[in-house]
A and B are shown apart, each in its own frame.
Chain A
Amino acid sequence: MGSILFSHLAGIVVTYLLTVFIGIVLGRYMYKVYSGDPTWSDTLFVPIEKLIFRVCRIHAKEEFDWKDNMKMMLSINLIWFIISMLLLTNMKWLPLNPNHISSMSPDLAFNTTISFLVNCDLQTYIPETQISYLGQIWLMFLQFVSAATGMAACILIFRAFREKSLSRIGNFEVYFVKSITRILLPLSLLLSIIFIWRGMPMNFAANQHIITLEHHKQTIAEGPVAAFVPIKHLGTNGGGFFNANSAHPFENPDYLTNMLEMIAQAVIPIGLIFTFGYFIRNRKLAWIIFCVMTMGFLLLVIPNVWMEIQGNPAIRALGIDNRLGNMEGKEVRLGTAASGYWSVITTVISTGSTNAMLGSYMPLSAMNMLLGMMVNAFYGGVGAGFINFFIYLILAVFIAGMMVGRTPEFMGKKIEAREMKIAALLVLLHPFLILIATAWAIYVYLHHPVYHAWIMNPGPHGFTAMLYEYTSAAANNGSAFAELSANNPWWNISTGIVLLLGRYPSIIGGVAIAGLLGRKQYVPQSAGTLRVDTYTFGVVLFAVIVIIAALSFFPALSLGPIAEYFLIH
């Protein structure tokens, strides 16, 4: 057992170190791409981009203020929303539907559209039976553009702090196009090739009906899986091609693909931290931010790996061999350590893909997943995660700035009432969405017995499932606790609204703060200025995140995973 445990642990350590290494390299590359420095990819992509800019009438040289940039973002997102609604509700008669799948109901189409548009990929539909290949391809497209939306918005923030004072913080459209052509597409292609080699299907064939050795009928679903899965992780989307997501052998054939999928989802969020360092010419601050995020990540991932390896004490009490750990709901080819690691990397980052049944994790493992989404900024989703972190950064600067006796400044820009108003609203919004939506659902559940079918497992576990669903929606994560029947109008519509509110306000607010600060007069640094690139400030930052963001959920968590923990022990 010892050597298996060792190799499992070594596997996740190697996975993490590779992730960080690739992230650092990618961070520098992304900086070059966005700042227009020459890169190896120029010769191939510059002509393509020029063509795109000409066709779309994008003036690549022009820059805009934060408001115009955000208008661009919202308008393009609105267009995708409309196309998506039309497509998903008319799949039945559209091409690429060999399995004769019928169109989605409006509420399911709404939930699915919003969910993929906001980089969440909460899936209340069953992909194998409820979406055609055209629908899958469209969702794949949304996975690219939603990731690029977050990345482009994030670069606008970086740009705002690059110069001493500027009001035009860049061009959203250019960053958006480059995110896709230079980063997401090449990396996805590379991953696709590896995935096909490892046995992932890539076809548009109809389902195969086979008779197994035991003479059971079995339907084998296939499709363009190898094209879908890379962007699902690179773009921190997480929407599965199959219902079982990355637990499905076609979506995650072996340990190597499992590693690659875990690495792929974290490299861009980690890389963006270092891109920020290059943009603001302060790589130390990037390292401080990385350390704070990593600290949070480790505090969540280490207990999860440990608890999953330990297994369930209630099962051990029954005298059942529990040495493989908590294997309920897990894939034997992946094991408890890698699944424990996956559960946290996918929730601190807003991917939300799964390689095991989340509802079968140990209660406190579920709590850590929830916490990852409640904070939503330990690495975080592509672009959006850094924007969330940026809000915490502003709060920490405000508190620490006062403590050194000056009006708080970040990168030489004074943080005043207007910026605080936006930051305070955003800090408020996340618990607001999660707690109020959950409370409302619980009210409905308790007072209308017809809805009792929502929950398969009443008690704390059922509560956790509901809390999880809205937390996942508000954090634009998309993972599901899988113990909730959520494909019905209540959940489709309510999570759809939470998804929208969890996405756009925080992006717009973050970019607005950066835009407002960007145009302010630059105050040169002196001995009395708060330095943010110090570990002391890192401590403040971490404390602010833990106390303000995480602890407001303590009462709710007490009634869910913590209560369940005490029931088991």
Chain B
Amino acid sequence: MARKIKAPALFDRRLLREAFLQSFIKLHPRLMIHNPVMFTVEVGTALMVVVTFIAVLHLMLGEPVAYNAVIAIILLFTLLFANFAEGLAEARGKAQAESLRKTREDTIAKRLPYKDADPAEAEMIPASQLRKGDIFFCEAGDIIPSDGEIIEGIASIDESAITGESAPVIREAGGDRSGVTGGTKVLSDWIKVRVTINRGESYLDKMISLVEGASRQKTPNEVALTILLASLTLVFIVVCVTLSFFAAYAHTQISLAAYIALFVCLIPTTIGGLLSAIGIAGMNRALQANIIAKSGKAVETAGDVDTLLLDKTGTITIGNRKATRFHPLQGVDLQHLIDCAVLSSMADDTPEGRSILELAKQYPDKTKFPDATMIPFTAETRTSGIDLPNRKIRKGSVDAVGHLCAQAGHPLTQEAYAIVESISKNGGTPLVVSENGQALGIIELQDIIKPGIQERFQRLRKMGVKTVMVTGDNPLTAKYIAEKAGVDDYIAEAKPEDKMQYIRKEQQEGKLVAMMGDGTNDAPALAQADVGVAMNSGTQAAKEAGNMVDLDNDPTKLIEVVEIGKQLLITRGTLTTFSIANDIAKYFAIIPALFINQIPGFQALNIMHLHSPQSAILSAVIFNAIIIPLLIPLAMRGVAYQPVGATALLRRNLLIYGVGGLILPFIGIKCIDLLISVL
């Protein structure tokens, strides 16, 4: 699928400029205090600046001015690097969201004064002036000016601007495909649309505010991690402050610069500096996948999902089931069965209903049956039909129509059941056609399972996610497809409340459930689910109920959502591990440097053989600073998630980021020290 919004290049120049600016703006203590780790670095930096100035004023104090100044500058850079990471993540998020929003800014809306007004009465206004509840009119060639719900008409719409999908889609009033998105284009026919959202309140606007500092809420795991990091920071404040007393006892002179360097190196600045950038980048990755999350929490929760409810249609099978064959019962003329099937499907607007007409190659005109009563298809009755004088033709599920026939005194025959059985066993769906309570024959609908879907379910199983197929099919068919596709469980003959019940049942067991839906009757289940992804083409109710909206209307997106959530947590976890593991090397750089003048034996602890105490401290602080920008790409892209099972994943990440975090600073500090000693 060709995506319209591509991720901006990691170091796009415009974004870099914005991030650069932000890294200075964010130095403001009021903004800084939200990040306790970096706030303490800021305090340390301020102290160093003051000390440097005092040293400049009284040169006799013995504090080496240049050395202090260099430490102060490196600390400042540590802060700037951290701010830059956050600024860059924000800028990328905004750029992505803006490019989505831009398409709808400059369009002209044809606003109608009232619902039934003639399109000729439309008033041309800029899209930005549309308010919630306004009604506008669009015809072929128009760009839809705002998100809304079709109240009248049907149209084919090119949504490629949003989804990248070039095939046009049909949107019509009523039913579950009534939502339109601003920025998409009407290709044929016309529609009247009611605006459902005020400017500034659309999901895009919400998403933009989510990536912006001001209204960004920390997610629950981020809060817990911040608490841990803050407490480690406090420990090291105590370590450094008390050290000054111990040093006084030992008659060891330690400069303020050395204390602050020790402190800044020991506190987890790497993860502290990148923490918010990681969170924002997670949201950005969701946006890149064309998912608008309503909160950061939703993305994070997705990583915890235990159970995934997937609609069969469109997710597991390609498109919709199609009628493939008519099976007349003994003594019934095939043509008669086809005719009745067509008549009874006239009021069935579901794709299955339409496929029956396609198979029969008959497209009757509803207006030619003035004395007929149409019985439209509903999910409740699971039948559709037509009442003509003296003829009651019904078509629907085996249960529903079988029940009707039984009531009329003609229960389904052994022969009918045999056909039903054989269709079901082959994964097909049987529909029974009856006339006046007498079964005529059976229509076979067939599914085609998406290629590659088995591998995706395999992957999900390795992640520990249980997949559940939701289908209206009878249990036999459902079982066949479930087995073939490799899902763990299925809900057959599902009514909307069955979904709801299944979600509740799983949640009572303590599991987190994700589902995707589009219809209004999906809304309660979407709200109940821990992660509810609504399709953008779905009804307003569905979009309100879910906590994410998928612009692509792609039901397999749930799988990506889960991976994005996991990636977010993994990135945080691994960088925390890396940051803490770094401490060991830094201890070995700084501790000997602090005491070597007093007790020469400490040279034995200088295992990196750093040049001098000053160069050792400088190298540690420099390493501490530059590791932040070096890790920005990782923070933005996220640590790759591999579904290999939790223990294997832990072992892998522990090796790379734990052992790596242990060794890398030894090498890095040594290299920097070599450079410094050359200079």
Chain A residues in the interface with B (C-beta under 8 A)? 395, 398-408, 412, 415-417, 419-421, 423-425, 427-428, 431-432, 435-436, 438-440, 442-443, 445-446, 460, 463, 521-524, 526-531, 534, 536-537, 539-540, 543, 547-548, 551-556, 558-559, 562-563, 565-567, 569
Contacts and interface: CB of A to CB of B under 8 A. Distances in A.
Contact of A420 (B227, B240, B576, B646): B227
Contact of B647 (A463, A534, A543): A534
Q: What are the 8 A-B residue pairs with the smallest beta carbon separation, nearest first?
A: A566-B601, A528-B464, A402-B573, A405-B566, A526-B464, A424-B231, A527-B464, A403-B573
Interface stretch (B140-148, B244-252, B426-434, B536-544): B244-252
Chain B residues touching A, majority SS: helix
Contacts of B461: 527
Contacts of B221: 402, 407-408, 416
A403 B577 contact: yes
B217 to A, nearest CB: 13
Contacts of B595: 558-559, 563
B570 A405 contact: yes
Contacts of B231: 424-425, 427-428
A435 B238 contact: yes
A565 B599 CA distance: 10
B38 interface: no
Contact of A431 (B235, B306, B463): B235
A482 B584 CA distance: 32
Given A416-B220, A526-B464, A555 B654 contact: no
A420 B220 CA distance: 11
Contact of B573 (A400, A534, A539, A543): A400
B654 A424 contact: no
A536 B654 contact: yes
Contact of A399 (B566, B573, B649, B651): B573
Contacts of B300: 407
Interface of B: 220-221, 223-225, 227-228, 230-232, 234-236, 238-243, 245-250, 252, 262, 300, 303-304, 306, 461-466, 509-512, 565-567, 569-570, 572-574, 576-577, 580-581, 583-584, 587, 591, 594-595, 599-602, 604-605, 641, 643, 645-647, 649-651, 653-654, 657-658
Given A463-B250, A524-B509, A537-B650, A403 B574 contact: yes
Contact of B650 (A424, A540, A565): A540
B511 A523 contact: yes
Contacts of A536: 647, 650-651, 654
Nearest to A443: B245
B303 A555 contact: no
Given A527-B464, A554-B587, A522 B239 contact: no
A407 B245 contact: no
Contacts of A563: 250, 595, 599, 601
17 contacts: A399-B576, A399-B580, A402-B221, A402-B573, A405-B567, A405-B570, A406-B566, A421-B227, A428-B238, A435-B239, A439-B246, A526-B466, A528-B566, A530-B647, A548-B232, A555-B239, A555-B246
Contacts of A436: 238, 242
B124 to A, nearest CB: 51
Contacts of A554: 587, 591
B228 to A, nearest CB: 5
B656 to A, nearest CB: 10
Nearest to B232: A548
Contact of A404 (B509, B602, B605, B650): B650
B650 A399 contact: no
A554 B587 CA distance: 8
A431 B241 CA distance: 12
A460 B601 CA distance: 14
Contact of B243 (A524, A555, A565): A555
Contacts of A431: 235, 238-239
Given A405-B573, A563-B250, 19 more contacts: A398-B225, A398-B228, A400-B650, A401-B573, A403-B577, A404-B570, A405-B569, A406-B304, A438-B245, A442-B246, A463-B249, A553-B239, A555-B246, A556-B239, A558-B591, A558-B594, A559-B249, A562-B602, A566-B602
B242 A435 contact: yes
Contacts of A438: 242, 245-246
Contacts of B510: 412, 521-524
A537 B647 CA distance: 8
B252 A407 contact: no
Contacts of B246: 438-439, 442, 463, 555-556, 559
Contact of B572 (A402, A527, A540): A402
Given A399-B576, A405-B566, A424-B227, A547 B241 contact: no
A406 B228 contact: no
B262 A555 contact: yes
Contact of B249 (A432, A435, A446): A446
Contacts of A460: 250
Contact of A403 (B509, B570, B645): B570
Contact of B653 (A403, A524, A526): A403
Contacts of A427: 231-232, 235
A432 B570 contact: no
B569 A406 contact: yes
Contacts of A567: 599, 601
A424 B230 contact: yes
Contacts of A531: 646-647
A396 B466 CA distance: 27
A552 B239 contact: yes
Contacts of B224: 398, 415-417, 419-420
Contacts of A530: 646-647, 650
Given A425-B231, A530-B650, A399 B239 contact: no
A567 B401 CA distance: 97
A555 B591 contact: yes
